[in-house]
Structure 1
Amino acid sequence: MGKIVAICKSEKKGTAKKRIGEINLIENFGLEGDAHGGNWHRQVSLLDVQKINDFNKEGGNVVFGDFGENLVIEGIEVDKLPIGQKLQVGDAILEVTQIGKKCHNECEIFHRVGRCIMPVYGTFARVLKSGHIEEGIDIELIK
């Protein structure tokens, strides 16, 4: 079992997300009001807090949301989960749909930070069941 350390969203694609503390996950959409929401396979992005901490130890200077991640997770190596794995987050249910992604050469995050860890460690999911979530809530693997 893990927990949500941070919840972040942005209103524009290609920009860093801002930490918001709590939000509604909307079935077949993603985070309410998030730029990446929609009926597609990358509705919610997840990143392991340890990957962010490691990046900062190597000289990075980032805060939660800088890589464009929606949910920062502690206690689960989300990038090691199989496609199709379901996650219970409060009343909401997510399903892992993709690990890693091609990084945009011109994205704000790459230019500001110098490199991006999302292409390797970013994990994407779709929302199977709506629910309200907040920082500190448990997240667990389900069958």
Structure 2
Amino acid sequence: MKVISVNISKAKGTKKEPVEFAEVIENFGIKGDSHAGNWHRQISLLAVESIEKARGWGLDVSSGDFAENITTEGINLPALPLWTKIKIGDVVLEVTQIGKTCHDKCEIFKKVGKCIMPTEGI
């Protein structure tokens, strides 16, 4: 597995922007990210292969557009069993959910009638 991008946003419901460095706080998430907190899904991941699939639908999308914190390459994320541990550098993440609810039908869903996060994000 390769990390393509690490992304954060200051406000929920906005595109996450790539950052050069991120501080991960245990049992909280990425410092400065709007989705960090004391809950079961502190950091979300999406494979670049899934983003490429969305490009095949005619969308101009890139890392962070699906509000994922970490964009990966070379790992089938939705095939991972719950509670799988993923080591990225010094950080160990645990899969607590497959799929990420598309709240209020995101802009991508509104454009093409479907979204990849509910089935391919973790």
Within a 5 Å distance, the mapping from 1:88-99 to structure 2 comes to: 88-99=87-98
- The 1:12/1:113 distance shift into structure 2, 3 A limit, reads farther
Give me the CA root mean square deviation: 1.7
Q: Is 1:53 the equivalent of 2:52?
A: yes
In structure 2, the residue matched to 1:7 is 6
SS of the equivalent of 2:97 reads strand
Gaps of 5+ in 1: 124-143
Q: Percent identity over the alignment?
A: 50
SS of the equivalent of 2:33 reads coil
Q: What is the distance in 1 between the residues matched to 2:55 and 2:108?
A: 15
Q: What is the distance in 2 between the residues matched to 1:104 and 1:83?
A: 22
CA shift, 1:115, in A, is 3.8
Q: TM-score, normalised by structure 1?
A: 0.78
Q: Which has the higher strand share?
A: 1
Q: What is the distance in 1 between the residues matched to 2:105 and 2:121?
A: 18
| Number of residue pairs matched by the alignment | 122
Q: Is 1:105 the equivalent of 2:101?
A: no
CA shift, 1:112, in A, is 6.5
Within a 5 Å distance, the mapping from 1:101-140 to structure 2 comes to: 101-105=100-104, 107-108=106-107, 110-111=109-110, 115-123=114-122
Instruction: Tell me which of the two structures has the higher relative contact order, counting C-alpha pairs closer than 8 angstroms and 6 or more residues apart.
Output: 1
Q: What is the distance in 2 between the residues matched to 1:111 and 1:78?
A: 24
Q: What is the distance in 1 between the residues matched to 2:17 and 2:111?
A: 15
- The 1:33/1:114 distance shift into structure 2, 3 A limit, reads farther
In structure 2, the residue matched to 1:85 is 84
SS of the equivalent of 1:54 reads helix
- The 1:18/1:113 distance shift into structure 2, 3 A limit, reads farther
| One-letter identity of the residue aligned with 1:48 | A
Q: What is the distance in 1 between the residues matched to 2:19 and 2:111?
A: 21
Q: TM-score, normalised by structure 2?
A: 0.91
| One-letter identity of the residue aligned with 1:64 | S
